[in-house]
């Protein structure tokens, strides 16, 4: 497979829209649907994933010559779960409310396909610097997807924006700002009320589908040929191609 | 030999030239797959029949619950048709509002609402039904679930308080404040839990008499209260050949049998279960949707029994007291599989699929 040279900037930015891990590669959908009912937990999940992704990409890229190819998946998982444990302890210590809100989904970052996917298809083949950029870009893409899903779900389904933000940003705890309660502000003038189904899982799937369609449309509009998605670049497929 | 061949060739040639001459005419002829039996049954005609069949129900609802029912029906129909028109316009698809299916959906949505529902919620439900449930899956005939029914569930989950805000019969006529009591379905649920349904129902003061249940003098959504009006629509649809007996009868029959067992033989309990709640509306107008119900008679009966069983289980053991819409939705999802299991045997084939051998 002839590889085209990709600039560092594109390595960083491709995760935003073009190869957005959630909305284009359809990876990591479990946390994307499970914790996106409130913006605060979605952002918390996004940041935790970015931290894990950057750290694992760095370590795996640095150790790519040391890890034997036959046992690479177990080796990656050990590295990933170590990093997840570190992040989990940090969140538990500093953001206990977020830790409770994320629940089981925080340790489940270990099996988030985005992280293993990037390790397998990028970090194990590229330099440390590029891997950090890739991890950061993909992580931001994940955060952006979660942010947009949760923005729609929380606003339409709960009538609030960034409700409970103080638990995510402790330095705000002195101020009076703790999210915007649109619903109760509007309810004084009109009979409108939140459409609660969007907080429920069914609404999560609907918003997810709509955003996926939107991102696909943006990508089609650019007129570029569709990018090769998914695991096309990983070693298993390389072998089959040969 | 050559001489013998020649006429054939010349015949072919002449045939070709005839074909060439007729090409323009032939291209105007339509080629369609069988069956070629022509029928006056069109989508528009069927939908118009359904609308006519729903009119007594709407009228009864408006008579018992107040003229606001007409406003809700108007809003439902208007927003459904508008949603369909705008979707087609926006997606550059042929305009399909002429087949009246969107109007039927809007009407059914309205009949599934309590009369107190805010109008904007009706609009949200209609847009959801038309755009998400129907058009995004490919439009009429390709939706996997009944749009009006799914919209009802969508609204039950989204606006639980507004969707359960029922009025007492004829409350709109009286100026005095009337205290709303437990819905008949809740009383029935309590009766089942009490262990002796018959004596519980005769003791319950706020449980309507069977005549009022039949006429519709109880709490409920606009369309579900009057069994009499629903049965009028049912008879009309049967007479016009729009629907068959199989689904409604197997659905209601299953509910009757299960409730007879659950009610320890209490006929009051069975009649109450059949006449209250959305059972008749669902069985007559929602479960019989062509797109989302099986095609063969056998399949339709399986579908009806499944709907009935799930309805009973939700009503008796669930926390909702009403399960008709969930039951139909679940069976909607099963109907492709029922279709596959009940595929009719082609004429001349044995049960195992081989050709039948004539016994000599």
Residue A230 exposed, middle or buried by CB count within 10 Å (0-12, 13-18, 19+): middle
In a domain, B204, yes or no: yes
Residues from chain A that touch B158, judged by Cβ atoms under 8 A, are 194-198
Q: Distance from A4 to chain B by nearest Cα, in Å? A: 37
Are residues B196 and B107 both part of a single domain?
A: no
Nearest to B158 among A191, A192, A196 (CB): A196
Are residues B270 and B328 both part of a single domain?
A: yes
The three-state secondary structure class of B97 is helix
Distance CA B177, CA A122 (A): 71
The three-state secondary structure class of B217 is coil
Bridge partners, A157 (sequence order)? none
Interface contact flag, B158 A191, Cβ < 8 Å: no
In a domain, B21, yes or no: no
- Tell me if chain B has a CB within 8 Å of the CB of A200: yes
Closest residue of chain A to B124, computed from CA coordinates: A195
Interface contact flag, B160 A196, Cβ < 8 Å: yes
- Could you read off the pLDDT tens digit of each residue along chain A, which spans 242 residues? 345 567 888 888 888 888 888 888 888 888 889 999 899 999 999 999 999 999 999 999 999 899 998 999 999 999 999 999 999 999 999 999 899 989 899 999 998 889 999 998 899 888 999 999 999 999 999 999 999 999 999 999 988 888 888 888 877 777 777 788 888 888 778 778 889 999 999 999 999 999 999 988 888 876 655 555 555 455 555 544 44
Name the one residue in this structure whose structure tokens are 């009802």.
B152
Name which of A156, A190, A195, A212 to mutate to probe chain B: the one with the most chain B Cβ atoms within 10 A of its Cβ.
A195
Residues from chain A that touch B120, judged by Cβ atoms under 8 A, are 191-192
Which range of residues forms the domain containing residue B334? 184-215+243-341
- Tell me if chain B has a CB within 8 Å of the CB of A195: yes
In a domain, A141, yes or no: yes
Are residues B191 and B330 both part of a single domain?
A: yes
Q: Distance from B119 to chain A by nearest Cα, in Å? A: 10
In a domain, A93, yes or no: yes
Q: How many domains in chain A? A: 1
- Please enumerate in sequence order all residues whose Cβ is within 8 A of that of B130, keeping only pairs 6 or more positions apart, or say none: B80, B83, B84, B87, B102, B105, B147
- Please enumerate in sequence order all residues whose Cβ is within 8 A of that of B324, keeping only pairs 6 or more positions apart, or say none: B277, B278, B279, B281, B282, B283, B286, B307, B311
In a domain, A230, yes or no: no
Are residues B143 and B248 both part of a single domain?
A: no
Interface contact flag, A202 B157, Cβ < 8 Å: yes
Name which of B91, B120, B157 to mutate to probe chain A: the one with the most chain A Cβ atoms within 10 A of its Cβ.
B157
pLDDT band at B97 (very low <50, low <70, confident <90, very high): confident
In a domain, B4, yes or no: no
Q: How many domains in chain B? A: 2
pLDDT band at B266 (very low <50, low <70, confident <90, very high): confident
Residue among B355, B51, B69 nearest B221 (CA): B69
In a domain, A53, yes or no: yes
In a domain, A164, yes or no: yes
A·B CB contacts under 8 A: 20
In a domain, B200, yes or no: yes
Are residues B73 and B208 both part of a single domain?
A: no
In a domain, B11, yes or no: no
Residue among A149, A146, A126, A147 nearest A10 (CA): A126
Return the pLDDT at B73.
95
In a domain, A100, yes or no: yes
Q: Distance from A188 to chain B by nearest Cα, in Å? A: 15
Are residues B188 and B159 both part of a single domain?
A: no
CA separation (Å) from A78 to A72, A84, A104? 10, 10, 19
The residue ranking higher by pLDDT, A60 or B11, is A60
Which range of residues forms the domain containing residue A210? 21-224
Are residues B282 and B204 both part of a single domain?
A: yes
Nearest to B157 among A191, A192, A197 (CB): A197
Task: Please say if the pLDDT value at position B172 is more than 90.
Answer: no
Residues from chain A that touch B154, judged by Cβ atoms under 8 A, are 197
- Tell me if chain B has a CB within 8 Å of the CB of A196: yes
Average of per-residue pLDDT values in chain B: 85
In a domain, A238, yes or no: no
Residues from chain B that touch A192, judged by Cβ atoms under 8 A, are 120
Residue A120's φ and ψ, nearest 5 degrees, are -70, -45
Q: Distance from B121 to chain A by nearest Cα, in Å? A: 9
- Please enumerate in sequence order all residues whose Cβ is within 8 A of that of A15, keeping only pairs 6 or more positions apart, or say none: A21, A134, A137, A138, A139, A140, A141, A142
The residue ranking higher by pLDDT, B185 or B108, is B108
In a domain, B276, yes or no: yes
Q: Distance from A196 to chain B by nearest Cα, in Å? A: 4
Are residues B144 and B253 both part of a single domain?
A: no
Are residues B53 and B114 both part of a single domain?
A: yes
Interface contact flag, A195 B158, Cβ < 8 Å: yes
Closest residue of chain A to B128, computed from CA coordinates: A206
- Average confidence (pLDDT) over B191-197: 84
Are residues B141 and B198 both part of a single domain?
A: no
In a domain, B18, yes or no: no
In a domain, B89, yes or no: yes
Q: Would you list which residues of chain B are within 8 Å, Cβ to Cβ, of chain A?
A: 118, 120, 124, 132, 154, 157-160, 162
Residue-wise pLDDT tens digits, B290-341: 889 998 899 999 999 999 999 999 999 988 778 899 999 999 999 999 999 8
Instruction: Return left, alpha or beta for B119; rule: phi > 0 is left, psi -120 to 50 is alpha, else beta.
Output: alpha
Residue-wise pLDDT tens digits, B16-66: 444 445 555 566 666 677 767 777 778 888 999 999 999 999 999 999 998
Are residues B188 and B332 both part of a single domain?
A: yes
Residue B66's φ and ψ, nearest 5 degrees, are 110, 155
Distance CA B101, CA B98 (A): 8
Task: Please say if the pLDDT value at position B205 is more than 90.
Answer: no
Task: Please say if the pLDDT value at position B9 is more than 60.
Answer: no
Are residues B157 and B48 both part of a single domain?
A: yes
In a domain, A74, yes or no: yes
Nearest to A191 among B118, B124, B160 (CB): B118
Interface contact flag, B157 A192, Cβ < 8 Å: no
Distance CA B82, CA B97 (A): 8
Residues from chain B that touch A193, judged by Cβ atoms under 8 A, are 159, 162
């Amino acid at each position: 497979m002839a590889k085209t040279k990709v600039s560092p900037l594109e390595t960083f930015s491709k995760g935003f829209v073009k190869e957005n891990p959630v909305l284009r590669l359809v990876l990591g959908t479990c946390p994307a649907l499970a914790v996106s009912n409130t913006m605060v937990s979605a952002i918390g999940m996004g940041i935790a994933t970015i931290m894990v992704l950057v750290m694992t990409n760095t370590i795996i890229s640095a150790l790519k010559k040391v890890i034997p190819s036959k046992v690479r998946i177990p080796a990656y998982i050990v590295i990933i779960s170590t990093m997840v444990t570190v992040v989990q302890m940090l969140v538990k210590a500093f953001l206990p409310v977020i830790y409770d809100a994320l629940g089981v989904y925080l340790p489940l970052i270990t099996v988030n396909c985005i992280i293993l996917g990037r390790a397998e298809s990028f970090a194990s083949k590229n330099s440390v610097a590029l891997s950090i950029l890739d991890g950061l870009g993909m992580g931001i893409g994940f955060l952006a997807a979660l942010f947009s899903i949760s923005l729609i779900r929380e606003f339409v389904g709960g009538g609030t924006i960034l409700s409970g933000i103080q638990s995510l940003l402790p330095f705000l705890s002195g101020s009076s700002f703790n999210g915007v309660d649109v619903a109760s502000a509007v309810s004084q003038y009109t009979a409108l009320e939140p459409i609660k189904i969007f907080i429920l899982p069914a609404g999560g799937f609907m918003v997810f589908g709509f955003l996926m369609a939107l991102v696909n449309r943006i990508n089609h509009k650019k007129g570029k040929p569709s990018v090769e998605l998914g695991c096309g670049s990983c070693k298993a497929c390389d072998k089959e191609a040969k | 030999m050559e001489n013998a061949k020649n006429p054939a060739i010349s015949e072919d040639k002449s045939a070709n030239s005839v074909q060439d001459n007729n090409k323009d005419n032939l291209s105007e002829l339509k080629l369609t797959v069988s069956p070629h039996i022509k029928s006056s049954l069109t989508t528009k005609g069927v939908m118009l029949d359904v609308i006519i069949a729903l009119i007594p129900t709407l009228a009864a609802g408006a008579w018992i619950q107040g003229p606001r029912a007409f406003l809700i029906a108007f809003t439902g129909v208007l927003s459904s048709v508008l949603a369909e028109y705008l979707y087609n316009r926006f997606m550059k698809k042929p305009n399909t509002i002429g087949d009246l299916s969107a109007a039927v959906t809007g009407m059914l949505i309205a009949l599934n609402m309590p009369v107190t529902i805010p109008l904007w919620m009706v609009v949200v439900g209609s847009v959801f039904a038309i755009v998400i449930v129907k058009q995004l899956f490919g439009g009429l005939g390709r939706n996997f679930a009944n749009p009006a029914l799914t919209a009802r569930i969508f609204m039950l989950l989204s606006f639980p308080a507004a969707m359960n805000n029922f009025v007492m019969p004829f409350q709109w006529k009286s100026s005095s404040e009337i205290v709303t009591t437990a819905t008949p379905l809740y009383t029935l649920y309590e009766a089942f839990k009490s262990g002796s349904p018959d004596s519980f129902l005769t003791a319950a003061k706020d449980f309507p008499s069977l005549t009022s249940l039949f006429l519709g003098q109880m709490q409920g959504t606009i369309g579900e209260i009057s069994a009499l009006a629903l049965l009028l629509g049912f008879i009309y649809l049967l007479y016009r050949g729009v629907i068959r007996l199989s689904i409604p009868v197997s659905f209601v029959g299953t509910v009757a049998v299960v409730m007879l067992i659950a009610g320890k033989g209490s006929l009051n309990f069975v009649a109450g279960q059949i006449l209250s709640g959305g059972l008749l509306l669902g069985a007559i107008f929602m479960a019989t949707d062509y797109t989302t119900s099986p095609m063969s008679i056998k399949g339709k009966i399986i579908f009806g029994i499944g709907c009935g069983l799930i309805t009973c289980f939700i009503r008796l053991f669930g926390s909702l007291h009403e399960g008709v819409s969930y039951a139909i939705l679940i069976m909607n999802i099963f109907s492709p599989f029922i279709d596959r299991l009940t595929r009719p045997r082609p004429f001349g084939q044995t049960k195992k699929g081989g050709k039948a051998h004539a016994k000599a």
